[in-house]
Amino acid sequence: MQTVGLAEVAAVLAEPSRAAMCLALLDGRAWTVGELAKAAGVGPSTASEHVTRLREAGFVTGAKQGRHSYVRLAGPRVAELIEHLAQHAEQRPARGLKESLRVQRLAFARTCYDHLAGTLGVALRDGLVRAGLVDVQAGLTLTSRGREVLAELGVPVPEAGRRPLLRDCLDWTERRDHFGGALPAALLDHALGEGWVVREPHRAIRLCAGEPFARLGVDEAVLA
């Protein structure tokens, strides 16, 4: 994300349709402009203008695949900013049963760009540390036992690169840290592919298989 002033950031996200698009993009996937238009409740031409504004501010990037153009958040830093700002927007009381259920599902498990957040995400961090799979004393280091368990579950451990393997990410619903970084991203991708979890609307994640998470140290009370 390019360096922009606080006033410019506020102006970009102050427009409700652009804010809605950013919240939709927090699921970590690439969206077409048409899909973003539907998510924001605006027409395609208006959505294109908003996407241009977001791109100019460094919030999103574009990519083409065949005849289709896609938009995604520019990176974890942007996602973290939007996630934290969403804390203030989504703390108002829920209106009605449907919205209350949505808020509960988001609080239990959701995507924070490309990794797990919410109760399940925090419990995963706690479990990995408690089971000795991650050593926090050594600066968030994956232990040899951690590598063994992940290999048994078929989770690929990313090679060292510019993005840290593990980093703490403050969870706005739990007020505690969950893990972000390359490894949690790989874990969520694998969990989705294996059907341990499935995506639901509005970034919510539904738990389908608790046993793999139990092997990662997650408390059974969370998985019940």
Among 66-70, 146-150, 162-166, the least confident range: 66-70
Best mean pLDDT range from 71-80, 88-97, 104-113, 128-137 = 128-137
Please tell me the predicted confidence (pLDDT) of residue 89.
54
Grouping H, G, I as helix, E, B as strand and the rest as coil, residue 209 is: coil
Spatial distance between the Cα atoms of 29 and 113, rounded to a whole number of angstroms: 8
- Choose between 173 and 147: higher pLDDT: 147
Res. 122: pLDDT tops 70: yes
pLDDT digits (tens, 9 = 90+) for 82-103: 877 766 555 444 444 444 456 6
Please tell me the predicted confidence (pLDDT) of residue 97.
40
Please tell me the predicted confidence (pLDDT) of residue 151.
98
Can you say how many angstroms the Cα of residue 223 is from the centroid of all Cα atoms in its chain? 20
Question: Which residue ranges make up each domain of the chain?
Answer: 6-80, 94-223
Please tell me the predicted confidence (pLDDT) of residue 94.
44
Spatial distance between the Cα atoms of 94 and 82, rounded to a whole number of angstroms: 20
Of all residues in the chain, what percent carry a pLDDT higher than 70? Answer: 89
Average per-residue pLDDT in the chain?
A: 86
pLDDT digits (tens, 9 = 90+) for 190-216: 999 999 999 987 789 999 999 999 999
Question: How confident is the model over 1-29, as a mean pLDDT?
Answer: 78
- CA dihedral defined by 78, 167, 188, 161, rounded to 10 degrees? 80
Give the architecture-level CATH label for domain 6-80. Answer: Orthogonal Bundle (1.10)
